[in-house]
Amino acid sequence: MARSLIAGLGLIAGMTASWQAGAQDMRLDSRTFVERVQTDINGRPRRTIANAERAMSGDQLIVVVDWRHEGSRTAHGLTVVRQVPRGTLLDPTDPAMQASVDGGAHWGRLDQLWLPTPLGGVRHATPEDITHIRWRLPDSVAPGQSGRLTYRAQVR
């Protein structure tokens, strides 16, 4: 159990995001929560959200990334990129999220990505193969503009 807790804490610490396309005036804040389902006294499921300091194997994570343009000029062509920590399994159903299975060299929807097999063939990529995820922000981001991105993952 201690090993799972330590691995979970390392996983949460590793969930960092970065900007691409010259975003020196952008601020990025990220928070990770654990979603648990518990049965109440009447036998009904109740969802609770807690800080992810004690994430364990099997826990469902909700990651919230807030961004804000703090510069004085409109920015263009911005993307938010996150490396996927080992030990997490992403839910790639967000239609705005693009995935990479090769360290960020190629991007697309998961159903569009392929990987080579040991025998020289190819196979469809799976959520376990995702190394990075990204979102493209609006074409132009005005000074003071902000937004929020969220996604789900599971601690393996």
What total number of domains does the chain contain? 1
Tokens of 106: 């190629």
Backbone angles phi, psi at 87, to 5 degrees: 90, 5
Averaged over 98-107, what is the pLDDT? 96
Q: Give the domain CATH number at 129.
A: 2.60.40
- Domain span holding position 33: 2-155
Is the pLDDT confidence value at 59 over 70? yes
H-type helices in the chain, by residue range? 2-13
Percentage of the chain lying above the pLDDT 70 cut = 85
Q: Is the pTM of this model over 0.85?
A: no
Long-range Cβ pairs for the range 71-74 (8 Å, 24+): 71/24, 71/25, 71/26, 71/143, 72/25, 72/143, 73/25, 73/143, 74/140, 74/141, 74/142, 74/143
* CB-CB contact of 71 with 141 (8 Å): no
Which residues, 6+ apart, have CB-to-CB distance to 136 below 8 Å?
Answer: 78, 79, 96, 98
Q: Summarize pLDDT for 11-50 with one digit per residue, the tens.
A: 443 445 565 545 578 899 999 999 988 899 999 999 999 9
Helix (H, G, I), strand (E, B) or coil at 110: helix
* CB-CB contact of 13 with 86 (8 Å): no
Any idea which residue has 């800080």 for tokens?
51
